Structure 1
Amino acid sequence: MRWELAPQTVNSLHPSGPKKSGTGTLVRVRQEGFAGNVANATGHGEGWKRVLGWLEAFIKRGEISAR
Structure 2
Amino acid sequence: MSNKATFEENLQELETIVAKLEQGDVALEDAIVEFQKGMVLSKDLQKTLKEAEETLVKVMQADGTEVEMDA
* Fold match by TM threshold 0.5: no
TM-score, normalising length from structure 1? 0.44
In terms of fraction of residues, the more strand-rich structure is: 1
TM-score, normalising length from structure 2? 0.41
Task: Choose 1 or 2 for highest CA Rg.
Answer: 2
